Amino acid sequence: MNTLDPALEKFLRGLPKAELHIHIEGSLEPELIFALAQRNGVKLDYPDVDSLRAAYAFSDLQSFLDIYYAGASVLLKPADFHDMAYAYFERARADNVIHAELFFDPQTHTERGVPFAAVMEGLKSAQVKAKAELGVDSELIMCFLRHLDEDAAFETLELAKPYLDDIIGVGLDSAEVGNPPEKFERVYAAARELGLRSVAHAGEEGPPSYIHGALDALKVERIDHGVQSLKDPALVERLVREQIPLTVCPLSNIKLCVFKQMADHNLRELLDAGLVATINSDDPAYFGGYMNQNFVETFAALGLNREHAITLAENSFRGSFVSAERKAGYLAQVEAYCAAN
Ligand code: ADE
Ligand code: ZN
């Protein structure tokens, strides 16, 4: 493994950043899974934390999703969602993530009989506390599970209607291949009518045509992952022209075998092509690290430099869903940090 200049590492760690691709259920550490299982009397298939962690050896997205949905089964009460999200916010603060847009998967919970209101209550109270006690800003993006059907997505959108002030947008996650974006064209149109912003996972394992589909059928404003875009030069040209942000998740891509090793990751090519790439942690409890771990490992393996870091931080704020005024405030923080470090 390549080493990272200690001065660059310090710079990366302290740099103010936004995280735009974090599944809050993917921040559930094994220790918390066991604590919540005990609190709620939920039986797990693993006898202890070590054996659960030992199962985190994935061959592709589906092999991960099977364990990820099992882990989420311990979440029942508002306090469980609160504890999970607040633990993430503490990690975010430690990594100088000052703004985070959290994905959550309501269907994973409502399908088990957990009320939508319980999910919202717990996540919202954690957001309020994180702002007050840690100074971390956040928004919520509600994801539709793409292995389920359009009707289920519409039902979820209906459940979200009382919470439109608390949810900034919709996303699309779960098993990508075989579930193209077009399946959700109508529900995205309905979400747009309600004033919701939109993103979708596309081009994680799936082909470039899924990225075109997310842009054309779903009219998304950001692409989650998008690393397969380099296979299609016309698509790259379009993404650059339209300045569509890509929320890239390097450690996730290695753990899910999208790339064999970090040295093979295409983040450097994405940046060199002029794409608005960002670094994110995806499901940090499962993939070996939070934001700064993603930065450090990617920079070490790809030989990225200070200019790349500044571009990535700026891209993260520019690509966020906050107001122009708040973006300017965050970008000023990046500028001040760079001037002082
Ligand atoms: N749900 C949680 N993490 C995901 C990922 N990386 N891709 C698709 N769905 C997910
Ligand atoms: Zn993801």
| 154 within 8 A of 139, measured Cβ to Cβ | no
Confidence of residue 2 (pLDDT cuts 50, 70, 90): confident
Asked whether residue 13 carries a pLDDT value surpassing 70, the answer given is yes
Residue 194 is assigned to a structural domain of this protein: yes
Q: Exactly one of 29, 204, 205, 297 is catalytic; which is it?
A: 204
pLDDT for res 39: 97
Residue 129 is assigned to a structural domain of this protein: no
Total domain count, the chain: 1
pLDDT for res 93: 98
Task: Identify the residue whose C-alpha is closest to ligand 1 atom 10.
Answer: 174
CB of 282 shorter than 6 A to ligand 1: yes
Separation of CA 282 and ligand 1 centre (Å): 7
Task: Identify the residue whose C-alpha is closest to ligand 1 atom 1.
Answer: 174
Confidence of residue 3 (pLDDT cuts 50, 70, 90): confident
Give 262's contacts (C-beta < 8 A, 6+ positions apart). Answer: 250, 254, 297, 298, 300, 301, 302
The domain in which residue 286 lies consists of: 6-22+99-119+140-340
**Ligand 1 pocket mutation, candidates 61, 62, 63, criterion most atoms within 8 A of CB:** 61
pLDDT for res 262: 98
Residue 52 is assigned to a structural domain of this protein: no
CB of 308 shorter than 6 A to ligand 1: no
Tens of pLDDT, residue by residue over 145-197, are 999 999 999 999 999 999 999 999 999 999 999 999 999 999 999 999 999 99
Q: Which ligand is nearest to the CA of 104?
A: 1
Tens of pLDDT, residue by residue over 131-148, are 999 999 999 999 999 999
CB of 61 shorter than 6 A to ligand 1: yes
Mean pLDDT, rounded, for 82-104:
98
Query: Does pTM top 0.85 for this prediction?
Result: yes
Residue 73 is assigned to a structural domain of this protein: no
CB of 28 shorter than 6 A to ligand 1: no
Asked whether residue 121 carries a pLDDT value surpassing 70, the answer given is yes
State the Cα–Cα distance between residues 169 and 165, nearest whole angstrom.
10
What percentage of residues in the chain have a pLDDT greater than 70?
100
Asked whether residue 1 carries a pLDDT value surpassing 60, the answer given is no
DSSP 71-132: HGGG--SHHHHHHHHHHHHHHHHHTTEEEEEEEE-HHHHHTTT--HHHHHHHHHHHHHHIII
Radius of gyration of the chain, Cα coordinates, nearest whole angstrom:
19
Mean pLDDT, rounded, for 62-67:
96
**204 assigned to active site:** yes
Tens of pLDDT, residue by residue over 194-215, are 999 999 999 999 999 999 999 9
Residue 63 is assigned to a structural domain of this protein: no
Q: Pairing state of beta strands 197-202 and 17-23?
A: unpaired
Residue 173 is assigned to a structural domain of this protein: yes
Mean pLDDT, rounded, for 101-110:
98
Residue 42 is assigned to a structural domain of this protein: no
Query: Which atom of ligand 1 lies nearest, measured to the CA of 173?
Result: 9
What CATH number has the domain bearing residue 265? 3.20.20.140
Tens of pLDDT, residue by residue over 17-56, are 999 999 999 999 999 999 999 999 999 999 999 999 999 9
CB of 139 shorter than 6 A to ligand 1: no
What percentage of residues in the chain have a pLDDT greater than 90?
99
Mean pLDDT, rounded, for 251-264:
98
Residue 317 is assigned to a structural domain of this protein: yes
